[in-house]
């Protein structure tokens, strides 16, 4: 069989094979090739009806995170867009796999026009921003609002809601949903037991023995996701020492974590464990299990976001009365009203979007009175637009907690520095499960903050004032 | 005829080889290329930074080094335990029973046992993960093992096995063994079936016990199968990711106590936006797997026995 003297590759088929190989490599090389196309910036024109000069026939590509809020509201927003531009074909993708489906499109230079970059598979905002992949949203904020050409879009928004999407003074994300972090209790349980909802941390601690006596654990939380403790700790510290304590932490100031208010807050949380005020097994359960335990009245307090009552509406017992009480402040707190509240669910416009002006217009529609009310009606959650009416008592009580704009603050280091995020979550987990002391926790966080500050390869961010 | 043979063969090979080159070899090559850059993964611009990623990789106390340690532990424990159990069960099911009228058989009900042991293999890994997450849960939240331990008055980790740094890795390895052992039982069984019975019968006449039969006859004659199983299991050990992702707190926690190399690659690529760094870890893993296969084939080579 092997007596043929013909080489395996003669000239002709070698040429063919090379051509096939080249074709394959050029197809596969898309991830590491491609050029930055020149992008035209969107400007605000004079036409209040169509300030971004949208091409009505251009298609629009919208990607929605299909999580707790679903995607019905987005379909309704797209109908409004089509009302103005009937010829525009809208591609609507609702998915939970944001990074999986959208990251390759960024890498190819062909991203969607509007992207709801949320959920567990969020593409890290800090890397999108430092890579220059996002369009700045000031033109949108300066444009006339959808409902009243005399009022700019910026003026239709609640106070402080742009902060979480602002990176070094430039707005790169529109965090559409307004939410607050608070401690929840069941008003019915408290009424039945004759307990007064505590207004300070000391009152809460004083109440705990009574709660234990009633056979109920005072606290539970999502132990497998210690991020649920992030705002509890920081706001407790911030209330005691004022918001600057938290800003210093965000700015990676030396010894920011060693501030007495932060130490006090860490000690207070650690004491919940050492006093036995946490539902047994809590560090080993996830958010669904902890919320179920709370619904079953096995625990009296749970820290969570303001979406909790809506999320639990069909699960909790019918007589369960979700009530927010904020984070109970220490006696002598400097800023007892402080609350972590602001925008969530970041909508971004990629810089290389094909229909950039259409994307801005779509966001303007989302921020219209009608657009925001659609969201409020479908998912019973507030948006960052002022004046959306919600009819459930928990939402109204939350609204009261966030009434003072000076007290709204979202601790940001977790979003600005991935490395800090990876440290604070396990550190909080250890702190509340008795594996580390408050002093060890503070040391650990100060160390990572110092390392982050010293690392020149990490882009630094800061609050505006 | 002879003249047209190679183009004819090549025309058949072109498609599979082309697809293989495009979908397997090129991405591998690209991972090498990417690992020398600072590419974030969500942009189409990057700079070449030489071997910085590889240098930093071995300085990463937070994720990479613990992950290498844990993957190393799994790499040793998983094949040893799985092969030992697989061999033991296969031997018992095929040859471990009482000999009846000079015939050697497995223990009573061995056919039934074989099917039962194979069950986990039929379940998808995701289901296995969800199932065992509940089995390992804290006592107050329906954990089977913690509940059973508590019922007989033994101490159990109060937060369940997966939230306890001391047990989480062992718990993951336990599930891996549980789900793999059935397959290797069947695998070794079929290899044992090809060993001629007269060898055993001769051994019995010579007065050999089960213990001697296993170590003097079965194991040497199964050496090839054991070696194959070893390589497969080593690759499984290097690939462990899904169970860690499904079961453990924060996909590798608590506090990196169950972090594995596959999971760290995923974390860096998709959660941290450091695709280039992730590629560098991938390249290291690639060479680790390659050298492992080469080494175990080289050192495991023994004389073949024909029967």
Q: Are A126 and B272 in contact (CB under 8 A)?
A: no
Using a CB–CB cutoff of 8 Å, tell me whether B103 touches chain A.
Answer: no
Q: How sure is the predictor about A33, in pLDDT bands with cuts at 50, 70 and 90?
A: very low
Q: Are A410 and A340 in contact (CB under 8 A)?
A: yes
Average pLDDT over residues A394-403: 83
Q: How confident is the model at residue A24 (pLDDT cuts 50, 70, 90)?
A: very low
* Better-predicted residue by pLDDT, A387 or A132: A132
State mean pLDDT over A40-68. Answer: 84
pLDDT tens digits for range A131-150: 889 999 999 999 999 988 88
Taking the Cβ of residue B273 and every Cβ of chain A, the question of whether any pair is shorter than 8 Å is answered with yes
- Closest partner residue to A223 among B26, B159, B272, by Cβ? B159
> Are residues A32 and B46, on separate chains, in Cβ contact within 8 Å?
yes
Domain span(s) for CATH 3.40.190.10 in chain A: 60-178+342-400, 180-340+412-454
Quick check: A124 and B273 CB within 8 A?
A: yes
Longest dimension (CA), chain B: 81
Domain residue limits, chain B:
53-96+103-299
| Interface with chain B: mutation pick from A19, A135, A284, A299, highest number of B CBs within 10 Å | A284
pLDDT in tens, A212-229: 999 999 999 999 899 899
Contact between A6 and B138 using a beta-carbon 8 Å cutoff: no
What CATH code is assigned to A60-178+342-400? 3.40.190.10
CATH topology of domain B53-96+103-299: MetI-like fold (1.10.3720)
Task: Give the pLDDT confidence score for residue B91 in this predicted structure.
Answer: 86
Return d(Cα B84, Cα B78) in angstroms, integer.
Answer: 10
Chain A touched by B46 (CB under 8 Å): yes
- The reply to whether B164 touches chain A by the CB within 8 Å rule is yes
Does the beta-carbon distance from B273 to A418 stay under 8 Å?
yes
The two tokens of residue B86 are: 């697989």
**pLDDT of the residue at A302:** 95
Specify the pTM. 0.81
pLDDT at residue number A401: 87
Query: Chain B window 222-251: which residues touch A at a Cβ cutoff of 8 Å?
Result: 249-250
Residue among A28, A34, A433 whose CB faces B30 most closely: A28
Say how far apart CA B88 and CA A255 lie, in whole Å.
Answer: 59
- Provide the pLDDT confidence category of residue B3 given band limits of 50, 70 and 90: low
pLDDT value at residue A85:
92
Is residue A353 classed exposed, middle or buried when 0-12, 13-18 and 19+ CB atoms within 10 A define those classes? buried
pLDDT at B71 > cutoff 90: yes
pLDDT at A380: 74
Mean pLDDT, residues B86-109 taken together = 74
* pLDDT value at A427 more than 90: yes
Q: How many CB pairs under 8 A join A and B?
A: 153
Q: Mean pLDDT, to the nearest integer, of A190-215? A: 94
Cβ(A177)–Cβ(A381) below 8 Å: yes
Listed residue (B67, B57, B74, B71) closest to B256, CA to CA: B67
Looking at the complex, does the CB of residue A336 fall below 8 Å from at least one CB of chain B? no
Question: pLDDT band at A37, cuts 50/70/90?
Answer: very low
Name the A residues in 414-433 with CB < 8 Å from any B CB. 418-419, 422-423, 425-426, 429-430, 433
Rounded to a whole number of angstroms, the distance from the CA of A159 to the nearest CA of chain B is 30
Question: Which homologous superfamily does the CATH classification assign to the domain defined by A180-340+412-454?
Answer: Periplasmic binding protein-like II (3.40.190.10)
Tell whether B62 is within 8 A of chain A (Cβ): yes
Q: Measured between alpha carbons, how far is B91 from B5 in angstroms, rounded to an integer?
A: 49
| Residue A345, both tokens | 């669910």
ipTM of the complex: 0.80
* Rg (alpha carbons) of chain A, rounded to whole number: 26
Determine the average pLDDT of the residues in B178-191: 91
Q: Which of A137, A43, A53 is nearest to A347 (CA)?
A: A137
Chain B residues closer than 8 Å to A29 by CB: 26, 30
Q: State residue B260's pLDDT score.
A: 94
């Amino acid at each position: 069989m092997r007596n043929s003297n013909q080489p395996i590759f003669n000239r002709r088929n070698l040429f063919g094979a090379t051509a096939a190989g080249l074709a394959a490599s050029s197809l596969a090389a898309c991830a590491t090739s491609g050029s930055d196309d020149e992008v035209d910036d969107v400007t605000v024109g004079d036409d209040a009806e169509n300030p971004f000069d949208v091409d009505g026939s251009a298609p629009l590509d919208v990607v929605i995170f299909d999580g707790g809020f679903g995607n019905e509201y987005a379909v309704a927003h797209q109908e409004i867009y089509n009302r103005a531009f009937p010829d525009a074909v809208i591609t609507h993708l609702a998915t939970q796999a944001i990074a999986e489906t959208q990251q390759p499109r960024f890498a190819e230079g062909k991203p969607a026009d509007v992207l709801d970059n949320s959920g567990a598979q969020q593409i890290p905002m800090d890397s999108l921003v430092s890579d220059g992949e996002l369009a700045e949203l000031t033109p949108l904020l300066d444009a006339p609002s959808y409902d009243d050409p005399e009022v700019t879009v910026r003026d239709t928004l609640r106070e402080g809601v742009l902060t979480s999407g602002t990176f070094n003074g430039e707005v790169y994300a529109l965090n559409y949903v307004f939410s607050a972090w608070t401690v929840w209790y069941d008003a019915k349980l408290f009424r039945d037991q004759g307990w007064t909802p505590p207004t300070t941390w000391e009152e809460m601690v004083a109440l705990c023995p009574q709660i234990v006596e009633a056979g109920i654990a005072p606290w539970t939380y999502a132990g497998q996701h210690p991020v649920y403790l992030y705002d509890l700790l920081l706001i407790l510290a911030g209330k005691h020492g004022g918001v600057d304590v938290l800003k210093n932490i965000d700015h990676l100031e030396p010894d920011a974590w060693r501030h007495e208010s932060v130490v006090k807050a860490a000690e207070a949380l650690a004491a919940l464990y050492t006093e036995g005020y946490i539902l047994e097994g809590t560090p080993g359960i996830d958010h669904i299990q902890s919320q179920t335990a709370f619904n079953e009245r096995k625990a009296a307090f749970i820290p969570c976001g303001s979406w909790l009552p809506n999320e639990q509406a069909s699960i909790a017992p019918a007589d369960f009365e979700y009530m927010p009480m904020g984070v109970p402040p220490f006696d002598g707190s400097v800023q007892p009203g402080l609350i972590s509240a602001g925008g969530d669910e970041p909508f971004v416009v990629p810089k290389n979007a094909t229909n950039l002006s259409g994307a801005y217009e779509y966001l303007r529609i989302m921020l219209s009175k009608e657009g925001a009310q659609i969201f409020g009606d479908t998912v019973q959650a507030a948006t960052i637009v002022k004046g959306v009416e919600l009819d459930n008592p928990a939402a109204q009580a939350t609204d009261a907690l966030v009434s003072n704009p000076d007290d709204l603050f979202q601790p940001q280091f977790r979003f600005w520095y991935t490395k800090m995020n990876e440290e604070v979550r396990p550190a909080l987990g250890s702190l509340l499960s008795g594996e580390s002391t408050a002093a060890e926790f503070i040391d650990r966080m100060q160390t990572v903050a110092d390392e982050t500050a010293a690392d020149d390869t990490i882009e630094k961010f800061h609050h505006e004032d | 005829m002879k003249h047209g043979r190679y183009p004819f063969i090549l025309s058949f090979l072109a498609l599979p080889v082309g697809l293989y080159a495009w979908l397997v070899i090129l991405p591998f090559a690209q991972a090498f290329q990417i690992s020398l850059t600072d590419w974030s993964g969500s942009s189409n611009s990057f700079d070449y930074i030489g071997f910085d990623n590889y240098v930093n990789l071995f300085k990463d106390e937070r994720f990479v080094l613990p992950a290498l340690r844990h993957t190393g532990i799994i790499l040793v424990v998983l094949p040893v335990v799985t092969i030992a159990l697989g061999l033991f069960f296969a031997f018992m099911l095929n040859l471990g029973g009482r000999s009846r009228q000079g015939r050697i058989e497995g223990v009573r009900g061995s056919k039934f046992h074989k099917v039962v042991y194979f069950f986990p293999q039929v379940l998808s890994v995701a289901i296995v993960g969800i199932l065992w997450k509940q089995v390992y849960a804290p006592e107050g939240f329906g954990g089977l093992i913690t509940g059973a331990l508590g019922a007989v008055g033994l101490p159990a980790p109060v937060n369940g096995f997966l939230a306890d740094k001391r047990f989480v890795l062992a718990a993951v390895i336990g599930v891996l063994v549980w789900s793999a052992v059935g397959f290797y039982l069947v695998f070794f069984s079929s290899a044992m079936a090809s060993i001629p019975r007269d060898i055993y019968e001769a051994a019995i006449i010579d007065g050999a016990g089960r213990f001697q039969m296993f170590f003097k006859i079965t194991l040497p004659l199964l050496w090839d199968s054991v070696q194959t199983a070893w390589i497969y299991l080593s690759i499984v050990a290097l690939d462990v990711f899904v169970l860690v992702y499904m079961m453990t707190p924060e996909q590798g926690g608590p506090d990196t106590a169950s972090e594995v190399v596959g999971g760290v690659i995923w974390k860096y690529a998709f959660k941290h936006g450091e695709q280039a760094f992730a590629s560098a870890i991938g390249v290291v893993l690639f060479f680790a797997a390659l050298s492992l296969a080469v080494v175990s084939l080289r050192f495991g080579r023994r004389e073949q026995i024909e029967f």
